[in-house]
Amino acid sequence: MSATTDQHPRLTPVDIQRRKSGPPVVCLTAYTTPMARLVDQSCDLVLVGDSLGMVLHGLPSTVGVTMQMMILHGQAVARGITQACLVVDMPFGSYEAAPDQAFRNAAQIIAETGCQAVKLEGGAHMAETVRFLVDRGIPVMGHVGLTPQSVNALGGYKVQGRGKEAERVARDAAMLEQAGAFAVVLEKLPAELGTRITAEIGVPTIGIGAGAGCDGQILVLDDMLGLFADFRPKFVRRYAEMGLTAAEAIAAYAEDVRAGRFPGPEHSFSESRAT
Ligand code: KIV
């Protein structure tokens, strides 16, 4: 049973797939209800990315993210989405062993969050699993290039697909399309490879650090809002400096408390939530 009570139809994976060579597909991540409400106003697709492990939970990589974490945040985001297509990441270890393992976990994510699709990482070696899910009614978004769940095998968060590696990444994307993925995320690739794959496959490519030639773009919301002072990936344009604004606000509050300028009961947490 779906966790949501939608009045308005959201965009579907089929709508996103039809955007190939149409208006660029606008995507962002979200992990909480309030942020989902904001993102939903401007985005076609909202991803509950497993980046939440690093962004929200302070993990050193996405490898430690669990099904429980994805479902909890997926449910929170679903409460804030009325129009965008909602996709939830499958966490590391929940889909790689076998197609039926992937089906059980993907079905649980969809049933318990009310999302419309799952995303999983990996190219040619995941094609059989993608086909298995798609044939059983689960729309899948692929993810090739830099696949952060494989950080231990890749030896870091490096640009992928340089030189001879380009052929392998292009083949990965093509195999996901053939397996029935409705869109494919291209992460950290040379811009010319992003453009090439976009021309070669028939479903939308969603770039993150893969150049402007993709059919759509995605960023981690907290990165583009500038919530972190110490983390500045080169490909992320900051649209705000919310980390600094928050630090200033917290410092101003601390100053007020220390100076005895404390608000009255009308500003208590429960009071302000109830109104
Ligand atoms: O986990 C994530 O947030 C992602 C993207 C940003 C593509 O996979």
Query: Cα–Cα–Cα angle for 177, 120, 146, nearest 5°?
Result: 85
For the chain, state the CA radius of gyration. Answer: 20
In angstroms, the CA 48 to CA 111 distance is 15
Q: What is the DSSP string of 25-37?
A: EEEEE--SHHHHH
Q: Is 112 a catalytic residue?
A: no
Tens digit of each residue's pLDDT (9 = 90 or more) over 84-130: 999 999 999 999 999 999 999 999 999 999 999 999 999 999 999 99
Centre of ligand 1 from the C-alpha of residue 29, in Å? 7
Q: Has this prediction a pTM greater than 0.75?
A: yes
Tens digit of each residue's pLDDT (9 = 90 or more) over 151-210: 999 999 999 999 999 999 999 999 999 999 999 999 999 999 999 999 999 999 999 999
Please give the mean pLDDT across all residues of the chain: 93
For tokens 């052929």, name the residue.
167
In the predicted structure, residue 7 carries a pLDDT above the cut 70:
no
Residue nearest to ligand 1 atom 8, measured at CA: 49
Instruction: Give the pair of three-digit tokens for residue 247.
Output: 């630090």
Catalytic residue among 121, 167, 187, 255: 187
Q: For ligand 1, what atom is nearest to the CA of residue 185?
A: 7
How far CA 178 is from CA of 1, 200, 236, in Å, comes to 30, 12, 30
Q: For ligand 1, what atom is nearest to the CA of residue 62?
A: 1
Give the confidence band of 235 by pLDDT, cuts at 50, 70, 90: confident
Residues with CB under 6 A from ligand 1: 29, 47, 49-51, 89, 185, 187, 208, 218, 220
Residue nearest to ligand 1 atom 2, measured at CA: 49
In angstroms, the CA 77 to CA 97 distance is 28
